[in-house]
A and B are shown apart, each in its own frame.
Chain A
Amino acid sequence: MNIGNDLRSALRGLSSNKLRSALTVLGIFIGVGAVIIVVAYGNGSSQAVQNRIKALGTNTITILNRGRFGRGPATGGTQSQAATITSQDVANISDPNQAPDVLSVSPVLNTNGTASYSGASDSGVSLTGTTPTYLTAEDYQVQAGSSLTTQNVAHHDQVAVIGQTLVSDLFQVGQNPIGAEVYFGSVRFQVIGVLATKASGTGADPNNIALVPYTTAQDLLTGYTNNFTELIVQARSAGAVNAAEQETADILASANQTSVANLPFTIVNEATLLATSASTSSTFTVLLTVIAAVSLLVGGIGIMNIMLVVVTERTREIGIRKAIGAPRRAILGQFLTEAVLLSLIGGLAGVVVGVIGTHFRIAGVKPVPTTGSVVGAFAVTVAVGVFFGFYPASRAAALRPVDALRYE
């Protein structure tokens, strides 16, 4: 028999008991909706990680001037006297012949201190002695005034570019910080620029900062030391990060007459760390999707259950149809159509609600629905209808006409 008739009779069957049909459809509806939403959130959070990797943006790795953890044993006991990052290391890493994948190296001399300005003070400021390349490498924008210059560094100028937290701690609203004389400890610096607010990742506030030339920091703040706290190495491109890491490690290893494996510094490649966390979150997404898919399975069982009831209820009708010459496959087709229609209705409703559901942020994650999940969930819906509708439909098709007609 043709599909049109099957569809019409299936619709008639389903609408004859709307509440029951609606309840039956719930399982599929929830399953499809959940799959779409879960996949969208998983996708959204992995895109968020990608965006953070991009925000790091700058393709940097950080070399911490301290005993390495997690990468083999530290050079036992001798660490304090031996390993330091020197200006010569910085020069070597900056050399395009030795490290072709490195774009820039920014030495960092970090200390925490108290900043004060005409009575106001901020005790948690991060004083960062560095070079102008640090701003690009760490993605800082200068909002007002000027940035550090290489001249500032060369002349050991007592100038500072300060972050927004420090601005609001030290200055009144409307007061212009540019040109102001600010004390870090007992040392006076002139503010030459203000940084734009930087989105904070995890950890310390990136806006409670004062950038000063590292030469000045060496002279005045950290007590005439030549040791850097860390180096920020910026690679030429995202693809070059690992190569830049390797080159940097090689240079540092040979400078310290050791192997890369025994390097007395910690090299942090944040992109790699984020990628690891991305894969963890995608594992979670897969797990949640499986749980949502179980709901589809349960929905399918519900459809099978109701279809068995429907076949029993309509036994007499099946008998009539057989008596007027319905072949087996026509009966099979009729009830299979009804089962598939049931799950399709659930699937469509699930798609609609799922897509609506992906317009809301949950836990800061903006969900990103994929066509794949929508189409996939829908296809699974049809498969569920066919799979779970087949047994009841074939039971109907196998009924003997006399028995079916006599059924009360």
Chain B
Amino acid sequence: MGPDGGWQNDATPVGPLPVRAGPIPTGSSGSPGSSRAVLGARTGGEGPPVIALRHVTRLYRMGDTDVHALAGVSLVIERGEFVAIMGASGSGKSTMMNVIGCLDVPTSGRYWLDGVDVRNLDESALARIRNRKIGFVFQSFNLIPRTTALANVELPLGYAGVNARERRQRALDALDMVGLTDRTGHVPSEMSGGQQQRVAVARAIVTNPSLILADEPTGNLDTRSSEDIMAIFDQLNRAGRTVVLITHEPDIARHTRRVVRLRDGQVVSDERFDRREAVTG
């Protein structure tokens, strides 16, 4: 009986949540006009939660056996939170992250993103959400090979229909924010893992999304690079962005203010910390 146990029984989550299909209104601070707004400014706790999962399951059918990668997950994450998802290998963390990031759809249960039930969205609306609202960072960097850092970071803006000049400016700003102004012309194979991951973070934040999702972003990095990446996430979260990351390392989890633990596709614990005390105190 975690903190979210209370609303598991509610028919609807918070406020005017359900069914708002169709195009997603872009947040006022997310309009593509403000090229300097990479860090944005969002305050927590107002409006619908960024993420609301209810009884979400994800079933993989492997021949005769069913694998319940998610076996009824309910979770609410408010605007501006900084959350770590932990759990043993195979516990369903990546599966849940993919559902949250609209890369995958639940087998059953419901998922509201910013108050919108994603079941009601078609593929192109989901693509728009992935483009504008969510920034995804992967363990394996996932940069496009043989493509410069700048071009990689520009890519999401291209899909958003931003013109070439503004694309370039905003990509440079994002690369500046992750401290890579001197590597803009490098292709992934010419960069260290830490640098590649910083490019990936720049790409995730360049469209100014309100939600940053990271699946073991430091899993392939040494301590030094991990700290660089976490510093960026700290900064993004301080600027008001919701950050959810998967990690196996308690050191990484300490940066966050909430740790959700999964086991066998279910939430087994959900703890909040006052991170400021833990880190600065």
> A interface vs B, CB < 8 Å?
1-2, 4-5, 9, 12, 16, 316-317, 319-328, 330, 400-402, 405
Contacts and interface: CB of A to CB of B under 8 A. Distances in A.
B255 interface: no
By size class, the interface of chain B is 20 to 34
A400 B99 CA distance: 13
B132 A325 contact: yes
B38 to A, nearest CB: 16
A321 B130 contact: no
A319 B103 CA distance: 9
A330 B159 contact: yes
B251 interface: no
B156 interface: yes
Contacts of A401: 103-104, 130
Contact of A2 (B103, B127, B158): B158
Interface string B129-152: 111100010100011111100000
20 contacts: A1-B158, A4-B164, A12-B146, A317-B145, A319-B142, A321-B159, A322-B103, A323-B101, A323-B136, A323-B142, A324-B130, A324-B136, A324-B155, A324-B204, A325-B130, A325-B131, A328-B127, A400-B104, A401-B130, A405-B103
A325 B127 contact: yes
Q: Is the contact region of chain A dominated by helix, strand, or loop, or is it mixed?
A: helix
Interface centre among A16, A319, A321 (most CB of B within 10 A): A321
A6 to B, nearest CB: 10
Given A401-B103, A402-B103, A402-B104, A325 B159 contact: yes
Contacts of B204: 324
Contacts of A324: 130-131, 136, 155-156, 159, 203-204
A400 B127 CA distance: 11
Interface centre among A1, A9, A328, A401 (most CB of B within 10 A): A401
A317 B144 contact: yes
Contacts of B146: 12, 16
A276 B132 CA distance: 70
Interface string B165-181: 00000000000000000
Contacts of A328: 123-124, 127
B103 A325 contact: no
Given A1-B158, A402-B98, A326 B142 contact: no
Contacts of A320: 142-144
A108 B98 CA distance: 99
A362 B276 CA distance: 88
B127 A326 contact: yes
Contact of B103 (A321, A323, A326, A330): A323
Given A12-B147, A321-B155, A405 B128 contact: no
A2 B160 CA distance: 11
Given A12-B147, A321-B159, A324-B159, 14 more contacts: A1-B159, A320-B143, A320-B144, A324-B136, A325-B128, A325-B131, A325-B156, A326-B159, A327-B123, A327-B127, A327-B128, A328-B124, A328-B127, A400-B104
A4 B146 CA distance: 17
